[in-house]
Structure formats: structure tokens, C-alpha cells
Amino acid sequence: MPPVELSAAATLPADGFAGALVGRVWRPDVAGPSVVVARDGALVDVSAAFPTVRDLCEAADPAAAARDARGERLGAVDDILANTPPDGRDPRRPWLVAPIDLQAIKAAGVTFAASLIERVIEERARGERASAEAIRADFARRVGGDLGAVKPGSPAAERLKQALIETGLWSQYLEVGIGPDAEIFTKSQPMSAVGAGADAGFHPASVWNNPEPEIVVVVNSRCAIVGATLGNDVNLRDFEGRSALLLGKAKDQNASCAIGPFLRLFDATFTLDDVRRAEVALRVEGEDAYILEGGSSMAAISRDPEDLARQMMDAGRQYPDGAALFLGTMFAPVADRDAPGKGFSHKSGDVVSVSADALGRLVNRMRPCQDCPPWDFGVGALMRNLARRRLI
């Protein structure tokens, strides 16, 4: 497999170090992770002030707290990024890992009309990708119009719902796509996400799967969105298409949740409005010379990020360590990769890049999940490590 290479020029946001960029690095010298802030071309360990990213996000002003925190300079960003991909890594030097830790990892589904239609197609195809194209054409012919113009939960959405029920086209996915209640599910477990440069996993039994390029907002325990990063919500379309009750298996395998490269905290240089306007780009490069490009425009989302955060966390659902929330995507590949009518599916060795100007570039190499490094450093291991280092 070709190596994945990372550099500051290709990984950082378009405005470089202008924002409050927070991450985590694995430090071999302490056998654990440290919270870092990107500053003056280097990564500074601020774990003495904030042992976890969760702690930093709970500050009254996380961006100001990150800028003010003092700590040990671990090395140049370029050097640590270069040591991050597993191929050729020097195990004695630090490398970048996912920029979240104790937060729950949640995701919002069918938040874009294009994604909504594809979920209905999966359901009606019963996970058989060969029949998807015919169902797609029939749905477009019978429904018509722009689902993206329908505000979820509105009277117009209710009228459309009734019309679709009468024509036999209603679906559980349409319920969460245009109904009042958003689909919010658990994508993965705290501490399980892989970061930039890492191998990301897909289930070897899946023959119809794809990347999902998304913005991930980080929400603190008070339901305040404090920043954003990039994510790849790897999805098994055949598993979920067979039954929505298989969503857990379709979404959560070893290394199937990629987040990074850095968490950009909200400040004068970057706000929630920048998230609302963001253009997220995707590029897949296969070892077979296959190239897939696509993207997702946040301006087309059906539900506002603040509404999604409130639906995730309210008086009946608390997250004392906050949450990282995938906002969904409008991207769903329909072009055939191999045989006609078979659509797109990953092959081992695919290099997936998710990028946005204000958030940088998240790049991962795809492999069967059992071939990715096993997840063996969870919350318990983190607490023991921080205690040994006298950080808690």
C-alpha cells in the first residue's frame, strides 16, 4: 500500500495558525496522550492546565483558555505530522491522534435531502446495491420536487408526509428527514476515534459501503457548541439497508470513526456561522487508480447545527463530558466503481481525504477493520495514565 504523508501545508486550515487549534498527541515518553495547542508552528503540551480536551471545552471561553495556557513545546507541527502515519513511524517520537477524548461520539442522520433519498433507496433495496439505480429513478419520478426546500417539522412537511403515505412511499428515513424529530445515534465510543493519518476501517463482510465527509461540532456539558473539526462517518450501506436495526453494526467497527486533524475552537476568526457556510470536499484515491470526488455544502443542511445539538442534549439527556456530533452529509456516491449497477464500495488501500478551508484536511487510508490497529486505550487507561503523571 502507498504510504500516507502528512505536512502542515496540506493539513492545517487555509489561514494556518490564525485560529485556536487544539489537538492530542501520543507521547511515547509518558505512554499516553497529551492535549496540545498549535502555536507559532509548534505543538505545545497544555495537559498540566487541561488534562483532557473535555476539560478545556468546559472552560468559560475555551479558545481564550487555549491561547493563555502554558506548557512544554513538543516539536514542530511539521515534524509531528510527518511522524503520524503508521508507515515508517519512529515509535520514540510523538504523533497526532484524534482531537477529542472523553466526549460521547454521536451523529445526526439524514440531515440533507440527498442523503435522505439515498437512505430510502437503501431501505427499499434491502441492502442489495444492484437494484439501487432502478429504485432511485422511480423515486425521483414519483416524488419530484426539491425535498431540501421542505423545513423539517413544518406544516408543509406534514402535508408531504401525508401525500407520500397515500402513494405508499413513506419511510422511517423520511420520518426523521422531514419530521419534527432528528435522528441522533451513537457513532462510536469515547476514546475510540482515529485521527489524521491513521488507518480507518470498514467491515470485510460489507460489499456496499462508503465514506461520509462531515463537519463534527464539539458540544460541552452545557449544550454550547464550542468548536468544530472534520470527520469521516464510514458507513456500511448494505448492513443498514437490510434493516435499520443494524445501524450499530453499520456504523461502529474498529477504526470506523475518523476525526481530525485539529479541533478549531470558536473565536473571532471562526464562528458557528463559518460552520453553516462551510464547503466540505471529499477525495478517494484507490490503489487501482480509481478516483472519486464529491462534497457536501453545509448551506444545504435541513436542520441547523444548534437545533441538532439541542435535540441531542436536553433536560432528559445529559452528557457531563460533552459530545462530538457529526452533522451529516449530502454526499452519497452513486457512480459505479467496477461492474455496472454495483455502485461504489471501498477497497483496501483507498486513501480518503476530507477537507474544508477553515478546518484543514483529514486523510486516512482504508483497510478492513480487523487489519487496523485494535483499540486498546480507553477511558480507564487514560485515567490511570493521567494519575501516574499526576495530572489528575
- Per-residue confidence in pLDDT tens, the chain, 392 aa: 667 889 999 999 999 999 999 999 999 999 999 999 999 999 999 999 999 999 999 999 999 999 999 999 999 999 999 999 999 899 999 999 999 999 999 999 888 866 666 766 667 776 676 777 777 777 666 665 566 677 888 887 788 777 677 767 677 777 888 888 999 999 999 999 999 999 999 999 998 899 999 999 999 999 999 999 999 999 998 998 888 888 999 999 999 999 999 999 999 999 999 999 999 999 999 999 999 999 999 999 999 999 999 999 988 899 999 999 999 998 878 788 987 877 789 999 999 999 999 999 999 999 999 999 999 999 999 999 999 999 99
Handedness of CA 119, 122, 125, 126 (dihedral sign): negative
Question: pTM of the entire structure?
Answer: 0.90
**C-alpha closest to that of 325 among 248, 235, 392, 229:** 229
Classify residue 316 by its DSSP letter. T
**C-alpha closest to that of 276 among 173, 182, 178, 358:** 358
Residue pair 71/58 in contact (Cβ under 8 Å)? The answer is: no
Query: Distance between CA atoms of 23 and 57, rounded to whole angstroms?
Result: 12
For residue 245, what pLDDT is reported? 87
Distance of CA 374 to CAs 112, 198, 241, 249, Å? 33, 12, 27, 17
